[in-house]
Amino acid sequence: MTAEAMDFLSYEEALKVVAAIQEEEDIHENNRRILTVYNHEDREICWFDFEEVIRDVGEVEAGQRKEMVQNYILNRIPRWVLDI
């Protein structure tokens, strides 16, 4: 399924589901960073490629980067995470 066809949670729904977003090393690929999304049960529900997110977010002031990345991800949480 393409990203364009994927059904996402609303920002408000995502806020209720997402407890944390952690930058981590991809365990399957060396020298690759991912942003792992966890729910309130501390379960991994999805992940995003760090470089893609940073590229899509674009240039922002260093002090605003964390908030911009968080908002980017919260607007792109797939609806299927509710089934996890």
Angstrom distance (rounded) from CA 68 to CA 57? 7
Range of the domain at 33: 11-83
How many structural domains is the chain composed of? 1
Angstrom distance (rounded) from CA 29 to CA 22? 17
In a domain, 5, yes or no: no
8 A C-beta contact, residue 53 and residue 33 = no
Q: What is the pTM of this model?
A: 0.89
In a domain, 32, yes or no: yes
HSE of 39, CA atoms in CB hemisphere, 13 A: 15
pLDDT range class, residue 4, cuts 50, 70, 90: low
In a domain, 42, yes or no: yes
In a domain, 1, yes or no: no
> Does residue 17 carry a pLDDT above 90?
yes
